Chain A
Amino acid sequence: SAVISQKPSRDICQRGTSLTIQCQVDSQVTMMFWYRQQPGQSLTLIATANQGSEATYESGFVIDKFPISRPNLTFSTLTVSNMSPEDSSIYLCSVIPGQGANEQFFGPGTRLTVL
């Protein structure tokens, strides 16, 4: 498994501002992902964070709105840009720990409220 931390754990932001969420893993991992969980909903994959290259975004998500960085094998950031109330969600990062692993392990999530 892997120990994953996220900062901040929660935030309340104003419309039109941006928030950067950090994800830190206690070991080097190959695969990192960012998910969104809207209120009362299931999880939706936003993007795969690729180390040293641009993230791979899922349909409906774009880099201008959700820029992602992954400078090394233990850290990634997700920015939610130009926020609106519709962006109020829980944002979770996940990892696949290493070669041969199949399950994803999730961070505790960042609960974002946009006013």
Chain B
Amino acid sequence: AQSVAQPEDQVNVAEGNPLTVKCTYSVSGNPYLFWYVQYPNRGLQFLLKYITGDNLVKGSYGFEAEFNKSQTSFHLKKPSALVSDSALYFCAVRAPNDYKLSFGAGTTVTVRA
């Protein structure tokens, strides 16, 4: 079975400060990892993915994530947060031979001006 844990329900940061959203996973085999963002009353938007290669992946809107195999983590980061980054963030994982995604519970990010 595969699963994702997002240990923080909420993350609050000031605009301009670094933002980190934590994610750990469990899956059989090499993980395919994804981050999505959901703005109020909108669908999920794909931010970035890790499939293979460099452990640091860059994505949309200045976000990046670091894959750490030993810690089974895939934390989302942004060096300087914007108020417009306030949204609900989901981490997801799947196994290489299965298209089914398992999502974490989500983390609500609030960036204050």
Contacts and interface: CB of A to CB of B under 8 A. Distances in A.
Majority SS of interface residues in chain A?
strand
Given A96-B99, A106-B43, A109-B43, A43 B34 contact: no
Interface residues on A, range: 20 to 34
- Which interface residue of B36, B44, B101 has the most chain A CB atoms within 10 A? B44
B36 to A, nearest CB: 8
Contact of A42 (B32, B34, B51, B106): B106
Interface residues of B, number: 19
A104 B46 CA distance: 8
Contacts of B105: 41-42
A44 B3 CA distance: 12
A102 interface: yes
B102 to A, nearest CB: 8
Nearest 3 pairs of A and B residues by beta carbon = A106-B44, A108-B43, A106-B43
Interface of B: 32, 34, 36, 41-46, 49, 51, 90, 99-101, 103-106
